Chain A
Amino acid sequence: MTCHRNWEFKSPIKTTMGIKERWNSILFKPVSIAPLVTFRMLFGAIMFISIVRFWSNGWIESQFIEPLIHFKYFGFYWVADLPDTAYYVMFGIMAISSLGIAFGALYRISAVLFFLSFTYIELIDVTYYLNHYYFVSLVSLIMVFLPANASRSVDQRFGAIKSRSTVSAWTIDILKFQLVLVYVFAGIAKLNTDWLIHALPLAIWLPAQDQLPILGTIFKWEATPYVFSWAGALYDLFVPFFLLVARTRALAYAAVIAFHLMTWWLFQIGMFPFIMIGATLVFFSAAFHENWQQRLFGAQAQSFGNTHVPANQLVSLSIALLVVFQLAFPFRHLAYDGNPFWHEQGYRFGWRVMLMEKAGYAQFSVENEKGNRIEVQNSDFLTHAQEKMMSTQPDLMIQYAQFLKAHYEKAGVVTSGVYANVHVTFNGRGSRPYVDSSVNLADQVDSWRPKTWILPFES
């Protein structure tokens, strides 16, 4: 077994190769399956724990069943709300299929089911959007195509899949790419004056935690948010590369653990830290993974005959498309004028995590044909969480305005327009008007086009 080298830097590329051959030799080079097996087990297990946690927190009830309405993602308005019990069924499917992934039992079906149920549930309501949910959707989609059950799995034990000791390099590298992407984009997003020069929002968030033991004292110091901001930015920008290099890997992984545990301790960010701590193990060498798997599960009984996988044009093309899309999509905010943290156009799906302190208050009014108004009390229609998200996110304001129009028309009000008086504060600056209150929001159609009714942010 000599395949646990860092091919990334020592790939034996011959100069005579054409681009296509080069590309193929990178993607389809046989490497040990062991890292993929670890990834499969940890991903499945962490997903299972996430589902159980979500369920036992009562969030199926409070996030999906209790709300009167759900805010949809642009382009996914067709995603229908489900009957109450169906939410539990969906979470049941997620729980079972995540175990299927972990144990490699009916792996491919499990991966498909997990991807579909998880993604559908996420698409129910944009209120609960988290970057790491997007990450989970992407990874579970990718996993459908990975032969992660070809070793140390139930499927392989029962002969449902031929045992393999090696897989094409792309199956592991695509996961590494996904992780590098998360970190680097999170790092790029931190390269702004608020984060670097004003240490915002950490200068707000850290002192608020000054009651914590030991660290609490440090959080009272004026320098602390600066140190944390810069350390966080440098960590995000560079840690994936230190993970790629064998010499720095152990230290970088220690930083991964420290960084994510710290964020888990300080902020309400749920399972994200554990997903990253688990997933980044994929950077470790094949020997590392084979070693722990052998200790825990014993030597692999099956023969290690290399199953050579021929290069596949469809796989190459798909990977290329995925990579290009993922590199470009997070930058789409550049197409809009102004501060993306303020207007949030092109903000989601960009790996922007824990970057701003933003809060708003939106007073909606429904106007009838005589110019008389009904002031809307948001708590009549929205949950706390929905109101909080809607009050700072323009696309949700459009959906809400359209809901209100329909609701009041049904109640017999001849509605001529729905208007909003919105005040938003961003990174501790005094609240200021957010949208043009003379624009009929119910008439707006969400699209990629700039929303000109969002008032500019002037600092």
Chain B
Amino acid sequence: MRGIQALVAICIFLSACKGGTDPIDDTFDKAAMLKNIGNSVIQPTYADWVKAMNQLDSDSKLLESNPTIAQLVVVQSSFIKAYREWNACSVFEIGPAADVSMRTRVNTFPTDTAQVEQNIASGDYDLDGAKNADANGFASLDYLLFNESESLLSDANRRTYLLDNVVHILKQGVDVSDEWLSYQSEFEVNTTSSAGGSISNLVNEINYEFELFKNARIGIPLGKKTLGVTQAHKLEGYYSNTSAALALENLRGIQDAFNGGTGLGFDDYLNSLKATKDGTDLSMAINNLFDQIASDLDGANLKSSIESNPSDLETVYNRIEQLVVLLKVDMPSQLGVQITYQDNDGD
């Protein structure tokens, strides 16, 4: 009994000296953050993508009936626009996008050109089939539209493959964007920090996407997995030479997911927890690195850098590595987010 009395006494003592029942922060509302990220970031980002896809779709249909150089240039430009818009959506592989593995469906790169050519020649393909996982989506369009693109004008089969892919991607975009509307309410009430909650899902996807950014979009082409032997052909947007622009949009998508656009986001959540890194606010350290990486990539030409001067990219790659640590180690740890389902001992 005495132990229990002592315990109660200690509790009272601690409550008294630590500010009692003062909330740590009464302003932060996880549900409001999720609501904001869904409504003001995810939905508009999808909408922009679908809009650009519709433009690409109608331009491609015109090319089908009117195969001219002028129309090809129009399609090329609306493709780049649509590809960029997709890149900002890529991070949101949760809910309806996760159900269909959206990333692999619409943007597996580099594309398997031999398989693309085989499909065009045979005219018999299922774009959702496992065999064509590397021969569909934006990467295949990049190849068709920018590698010996004049053959599109003379070869109706190529134009058909182009249009089939555009239609396929457009359908994914329309579906996911529609389904998000009904998923939104489920998304915003799932405020648990456990695995499977929206916060955990977002933190996971921000990390997964950022690692793809680091490895697939920059590291692998830069030779980081091949003993320094560069592989420019593995760049996203290799044929259109738009890799840096695509990477920038991808980065913008990730940063918007983190900040919740201009509204409530993980930056505010971390601030409410007073999370710091080496004396500065963690949210600021993260945003500084995002901004620095973006300015490094702005106007860069990844293809020519990798082909002629790969060491130019070491600075930005180094910053990317620093940001991985903050996003993958510091952020989840501060938020107390669980990322796996299995039982744990708390370490």
Chain A residues packing against B (C-beta within 8 Å): 57, 59, 63, 128-131, 201, 204-205, 207-211, 220-223, 226-227, 230-231, 234, 238, 242, 248, 251, 267-272, 352-361, 363, 368, 370, 372-375, 377, 379, 384-385, 388, 392, 413, 421, 423-425, 428, 430-431
- Whether B18 lies near A201 (C-beta < 8 A) is no
Q: Closest Cβ of chain B: how far from A334's Cβ, in Å? A: 19
B81 within 8 A of A: no
- Whether A268 lies near B225 (C-beta < 8 A) is no
With the chains together, A416 CA to B47 CA distance in Å? 51
* Set of chain B residues within 8 Å of A130, measured between Cβ atoms: 343-345
- Whether B228 lies near A373 (C-beta < 8 A) is yes
* A-B residue pairs, 5 tightest by C-beta: A270-B343, A208-B336, A354-B346, A372-B227, A430-B277
- Whether B345 lies near A357 (C-beta < 8 A) is no
- Whether B19 lies near A223 (C-beta < 8 A) is yes
Show 22 residue pairs from A and B whose CB-CB distance is below 8 angstroms, ordered by the A residue: A129-B345, A201-B336, A204-B336, A208-B336, A209-B192, A221-B24, A226-B18, A227-B14, A230-B7, A267-B344, A268-B343, A268-B344, A269-B344, A270-B343, A357-B347, A361-B324, A361-B325, A373-B227, A374-B224, A375-B215, A421-B321, A430-B276
- Whether B11 lies near A211 (C-beta < 8 A) is no
* Set of chain B residues within 8 Å of A379, measured between Cβ atoms: 211
Q: Which of B190-222 contact A (CB under 8 A)?
A: 191-195, 211, 215, 219
| Closest A residue, CB atoms, query B276 | A430
With the chains together, A370 CA to B347 CA distance in Å? 38
B296 within 8 A of A: no
Residue interface bits B6-40, CB-to-A below 8 A is 1, else 0: 11001100110011111111100011000000000
* Set of chain B residues within 8 Å of A272, measured between Cβ atoms: 343
Other than the given A227-B14, A353-B346, 14 more pairs (CB < 8 A) read A221-B20, A221-B22, A223-B18, A223-B20, A268-B341, A352-B347, A373-B228, A375-B225, A379-B211, A384-B340, A421-B321, A423-B329, A430-B277, A431-B277
With the chains together, A234 CA to B219 CA distance in Å? 51
With the chains together, A55 CA to B240 CA distance in Å? 49
Chain B residues packing against A (C-beta within 8 Å): 1, 3-4, 6-7, 10-11, 14-15, 18-26, 30-31, 191-195, 211, 215, 219, 224-229, 273, 275-278, 282, 321, 324-326, 328-330, 332-347
Given contacts A220-B24, A251-B4, contact A428 B333 (CB under 8 A): yes
* Set of chain A residues within 8 Å of B193, measured between Cβ atoms: 208-209
* Set of chain A residues within 8 Å of B282, measured between Cβ atoms: 430
Given contacts A223-B20, A269-B343, A425-B330, contact A242 B227 (CB under 8 A): no
